[in-house]
Amino acid sequence: MVERSFWQKTKWKLVISVALSVIIWIVSGLIGFPRLFQWMFMGYVIGGLLFFILLDARPMKERSGGAAVLSVIIFYLIISFVYTINGALWPQYNPEEEKEKIAKLMKSVVSPKQKIGELEAKVEELSKKVEELSTRPAAPVAAPAPSGEAAKKAAEKVAGIPAKAGPSPELIAQGKEVYDLYECYNCHKIGGKGGVKRRGPELDHAGKEFTAEQLKKRIWYPYAPGTKATKGFEKEFEEQTMPDYYNEQISKEEMAALVAYVLSLK
């Protein structure tokens, strides 16, 4: 049998590898894999190509004794070196980062005791207000009773949410942090970024589509009676893809910032 040249043996492997690379790159891009993963897949294709080229290599001369042992050791060292370098080149999972996130989350979880304390303070504040109003000297015209709206505003003030004031850039920046902390980006895209793991509506124009109240409700209680699914996301709504536990995690202060951030997206 005529020995085929290296080029003849390798030609088709190369063609197949290039075709595979193109297909994998496009498909993984369409699925939404980050660029880094796409490069990693390319690495696998090249690894496969090298493997098949190596399969065609002429067998080595047989070795024995000290030469055989030495060969095994050298081979072991080379492979270890390649693996170590390869491992060091790719970004690594950093447990410290995750720990930091968990610590932040734990800090924001309000204990029942804290909650009761908050409510008590609120009640006290409101009763003070009522007292103030009732001890006011009677005006010729009936004194304004704390109407529903006024009471709500007062309650909001107590809760630390300014009743009315344009959101400051600091608050918006804080809101972005809250957004990242609770990993909204896993499902939502903003400016084309995010929404890789699961599908949710883009939030690029959410600031135009919602009021602050609506957003708060939508995030704290996504399945409150009367909430309608976003168009095109009826199935996800049905399956309750959007987490329904944010009311236990996101504090009032965080929500105020988060809402300011989302409202700034127009």
Which spans of this chain sit near ligand HEC (rule: CB under 6 A)?
182-184, 186-188, 198, 200-201, 206, 209, 215, 218-219, 222, 229-230, 233, 236-237, 241-243, 246, 258
HSE-up of 33 (CA within 13 Å, CB side)? 14
CB of 49 or CB of 246, closer to ligand HEC: 246
Task: Give me 228's structure tokens.
Answer: 């309608």
Instruction: Write down the least CB distance from residue 192 to ligand HEC, Å.
Output: 16
Residue type at position 66 = G
Query: How far apart (Å, rounded) are the C-alpha atoms in residues 66 and 68?
Result: 5
Q: Are 24 and 55 in contact (CB under 8 A)?
A: no
CB of 122 or CB of 176, closer to ligand HEC: 176
Instruction: Write down the least CB distance from residue 229 to ligand HEC, Å.
Output: 5
Instruction: Write down the least CB distance from residue 205 to ligand HEC, Å.
Output: 8
Q: Are 207 and 263 in contact (CB under 8 A)?
A: yes
Report the b/e string of 104-138 with b at 16+ CB within 10 A.
eeeeeeeeeeeeeebeeeeeeeeeeeeeeeeeeee
CB of 118 or CB of 209, closer to ligand HEC: 209
Instruction: Write down the least CB distance from residue 112 to ligand HEC, Å.
Output: 22
Q: Are 219 and 250 in contact (CB under 8 A)?
A: yes
Task: Give me 230's structure tokens.
Answer: 């976003």
Query: How far apart (Å, rounded) are the C-alpha atoms in residues 29 and 63?
Result: 47
Q: Are 263 and 215 in contact (CB under 8 A)?
A: yes
CB of 49 or CB of 215, closer to ligand HEC: 215
CB of 170 or CB of 183, closer to ligand HEC: 183
**Residue 178 CA from chain centroid, whole number:** 11
CB of 45 or CB of 262, closer to ligand HEC: 262
CB of 49 or CB of 258, closer to ligand HEC: 258
Instruction: Write down the least CB distance from residue 152 to ligand HEC, Å.
Output: 22
Query: How far apart (Å, rounded) are the C-alpha atoms in residues 32 and 24?
Result: 12
Query: How far apart (Å, rounded) are the C-alpha atoms in residues 12 and 150?
Result: 78
Instruction: Write down the least CB distance from residue 257 to ligand HEC, Å.
Output: 11
Instruction: Write down the least CB distance from residue 11 to ligand HEC, Å.
Output: 47
Task: Give me 163's structure tokens.
Answer: 């009743």
